[in-house]
Structure 1
Amino acid sequence: MTGLGAVFRPQLAPERLRTVARLADDAGLEELWLWEDCFREGGISTAAAALAWTERIKVGVGLLPVPLRNVAITAMEAATLHRMFPGRPILAVGHGVQDWMGQIGARVDSPVTLLREHLDALRALLRGELVTVEGRYVKLDDVALDWPPAEPVPVIAGATGPRSLRLAGAAADGTLLTAGTPPEGVRRARQLIDEGRESAGRAGTEPHELVVYLLTATGADGPARLRAELEAEGLASVADLGVAGDAGAVAKAVQRLADAGADTVVLQPTADEPDPEGFVRFVAEEVRPLVP
C-alpha cells in the first residue's frame, strides 16, 4: 500500500501545530511531516511536541540540515525521540539550502562529503556503537550514546542531484525527494539510488523507502495558487508537477508517483493554503480511501 501523509508548513505559526497534529491523529492520517526551514521553526522541537500531543500518527522531519548540526546532537535527539515514542518519529537529514547555510556561516566546500560523513556516523551512533572518526568535517573521539534506540531505526537522506541520490542509496535507509520532482524524476531517482546501493553492496538486502512530496492545492482557487507557487519556485515549466483539484485528481497524481517508484507520498499544501486543518482532513478522509 502506498503511504500517505501531509505537511505542516513552517509558514504557519508554531502555536497552530497542536490543533493540526491532533486533527491529523484523530482523522487517521498516517504521517504528518514538519520542516526545519531557516529561519522559521526547529524540527526536533516541533516533532517532539507533535508526538506528545498525539497517540498514533508518525511524525516526520524533512529535513534536518547537517551543516547546522553536530552529528552527536542529531543522534542524541533522534535516539531520545525514538525511545519516548517508539516507531513514530521519521527523521531525514540533508544538505540544507546552501544560501541559508551561507547566511549562518555553515556552508561547506563539499556538501556531499559532509552528508556522507554525517550519515555514516549518525547510523553508527544510533546502532549503539562506540564511534571514533577523523573526517573532513565530522570528528568524534570515543563517542557512544548512553541511551541508543531500543530497536533499529531508519535514517532518511534528502537528496536531489545524482551524486546525492547515489549517496543516499549507499549510506542511508531511505530517500526524501522534494515537491519539485515529477514522476519521471522519481523514476530517475530510484535508478540512481539503486546504483548507489549496488556500489555499496546493499542491493537486494533491506528495503529503501522513497518518500516524495507532492505540491497540492484544493478549492476553487487551487489551480491559481498552485500555478503561483510553481512560478515563484521557478518550476512552472516542469511538466506533470503538482496537482490541483478534488480528491480524485489528487489520488491519480499520487498514483502516478507511486507507479514511478514512490513508497510514500506526502501532500504539501501551498504556502498560502487558507485552511490547513481542512487540508489535513481532506487528505485523511477523502484522498486516502482512493489511494490503493
Structure 2
Amino acid sequence: MSIRFSLRVNNDLDLPTLTGLAVAGEAAHIDQLWVSNDLMLRSAPALLGALFQKTTRLHLGIGIMNPYSVHPAELAMIAATLQEMSEGRFLLGLGAGSGEFLSWIGIEQDKPLTDTRAALRAIRALLAGERPIDADGAGEGWTRDAYLRLTATHVPIYIGAMSPRMLAFAGAEADGVLALLFPPEHFTTASEIVAEGAAGAGRTMSDLDMPACVWLALDEDRAAADRALALKLAYYGAAFSPYLLARAGLTTADFTPALDALRDGDEDAAVRAITPQMLSLGISGDPDAVIRRCRELVGRGATHLSFGPPLGPDPVAAIEMLGRLVLPEVRRSA
C-alpha cells in the first residue's frame, strides 16, 4: 500500500522560517505542505505566493479559508491565481472556520454547513469558467456578471471538517477532507462518516483524499517534544470542537487555565496546565514512539498521514528526522 505524507504549519511563521520548512519538506520527500490562515496572523495566500518560488515539487495548500471573512468570489480568485503561478501545485482548504476566532471581528457563523456547501459550489463554478447563478446550491446574490475573467482551471478543494455533518458533506462533494483528529484514534470514526457521505452521493473513498490530520511533536528528547505540543494545545485547545473534545473526555473549559497562563506570559505554567489526557490529543515523543502511533493509524486504514504543528521543538530538525527515521519505517510496514 502506498502512503502519502504532508505537513501542516501555522501562519504565525515568518517567510524565512516557512521557507526553511518547505525546503526541508521537499528534501524529506513530503508530498504536501499546508499553511493555516488563522485570523490576526500572516496572510497564507501571500506566503504561498512566495513559497511557490522557493519549491519545485511540493504541493502547497491553504488550510483553511472560510467564506465569512473572505467572500467566495475572492476565494476563487486566490485559488485561480495561485494555481496559475504554481503550474498546478495549489490546494485550497475550505471550511466554516473557528467561531471563536470569527467572533473577534464581529462575524457570526450563521449556518456553517449551508454556507460552506454554497461556497464550495460557487468556487467550483467560477474556477470552471461558469457562473454561480447557474450552479445549484451556490447561494444567493450572484448575477450574470459574476464570472472569472481567467482561463478555467481545476483546483482540488479540501473541506476542513470536524462535525459529523461536515464530514459527511466532505465525503459527498469535496476532493479531500482535512479532518483534525483529536485524538488521532478518532480517524476510525471520522473515516466511516466520510465514507457514508461518499456512498450516499454515489462515490467511494478512492474519489477523495482523506489525510489523517494529527498534531505532532518529534524530538530525541521526549520531554522537549511534550513541551512543544503542550504549548500549542494551550493556545488552541479552547477553540477545538466540543464534539471532538467530548469524545476524549474533555471540554473547552479544561484549557482555560493553560490559555490564561499564556496570556500572562507564563509558558511554564501553561505547560503544567496541560494534563497527560490533553497531551494524548496529539502525538509526541521520540522517533520510536511516533513510528508506533503512525503504524496504528495505518492499521486503521489511513493512506495519507498529515503532521501538524508544532512538529517539534526544532521544526526543521523534526522534518529531517521524519524523512530519515520515521517515514521509511512507516512505508515499510504499510
TM-score category of the 2 structures, normalised to the smaller one:
0.7 to 0.9
3-state SS of the aligned residue for 2:12?
Answer: coil
What percent of counterpart residues are identical?
27
1:144 equivalent among 139, 142, 147: 147
Which amino acid letter does the alignment assign opposite residue 213 of structure 2? Answer: Y
1:248 equivalent among 288, 312, 330: 288
1:212 aligns with 2:208: no
Residues 103 and 285 from structure 1, CA distance in 2 versus in 1: closer, same or farther, beyond 3 angstroms?
same
3-state SS of the aligned residue for 2:202?
Answer: coil
Which amino acid letter does the alignment assign opposite residue 35 of structure 1? Answer: S
Q: Is the 8 A contact 1:35 1:41 kept in 2?
A: no
Q: Distance in 1 between matches of 2:230 and 2:122?
A: 41
Partner deviation per Cα, 1:182-209 (whole Å, 9 max, x = no partner)? 22x212112211222233x332486111
Deviation at 1:74, TM superposition (A): 0.8
Residues 239 and 188 from structure 1, CA distance in 2 versus in 1: closer, same or farther, beyond 3 angstroms?
farther
Q: Which has the larger radius of gyration?
A: 2
Residues 178 and 86 from structure 1, CA distance in 2 versus in 1: closer, same or farther, beyond 3 angstroms?
same
2:156 equivalent among 139, 144, 154: 154
Structure 1 unaligned blocks of 5 or more: none
Deviation at 1:2, TM superposition (A): 1.7
Corresponding position of 2:131? 130
Q: Is the 8 A contact 1:5 1:283 kept in 2?
A: no
1:263 aligns with 2:303: yes
Corresponding position of 1:280? 319
Q: Is the 8 A contact 1:215 1:242 kept in 2?
A: yes
Which amino acid letter does the alignment assign opposite residue 53 of structure 1? Answer: K
Q: After alignment, is 126-135 or 84-93 more displaced?
A: 126-135
Structure 2 unaligned blocks of 5 or more: 238-254, 256-273
TM-score (norm 1): 0.87
Aligned residues: 288
Residues 231 and 100 from structure 1, CA distance in 2 versus in 1: closer, same or farther, beyond 3 angstroms?
closer
Equivalent positions of 1:178-193 (< 5 A) are: 178-183=180-185, 185-193=186-194
Deviation at 1:171, TM superposition (A): 2.4
Residues 224 and 98 from structure 1, CA distance in 2 versus in 1: closer, same or farther, beyond 3 angstroms?
same
Q: After alignment, is 132-141 or 69-78 more displaced?
A: 132-141
Q: After alignment, is 135-144 or 205-214 more displaced?
A: 135-144
Q: Is the 8 A contact 2:119 2:138 kept in 1?
A: no
Question: Once superposed, what is the RMSD of the aligned Cα atoms?
Answer: 2.6
Deviation at 1:46, TM superposition (A): 1.3
Which amino acid letter does the alignment assign opposite residue 145 of structure 1? Answer: L
3-state SS of the aligned residue for 1:213?
Answer: strand
Partner deviation per Cα, 1:121-178 (whole Å, 9 max, x = no partner)? 112222222321697965321222232454x332110000111111112221211012
Equivalent positions of 1:36-75 (< 5 A) are: 36-75=37-76
3-state SS of the aligned residue for 1:202?
Answer: coil
Corresponding position of 1:86? 87
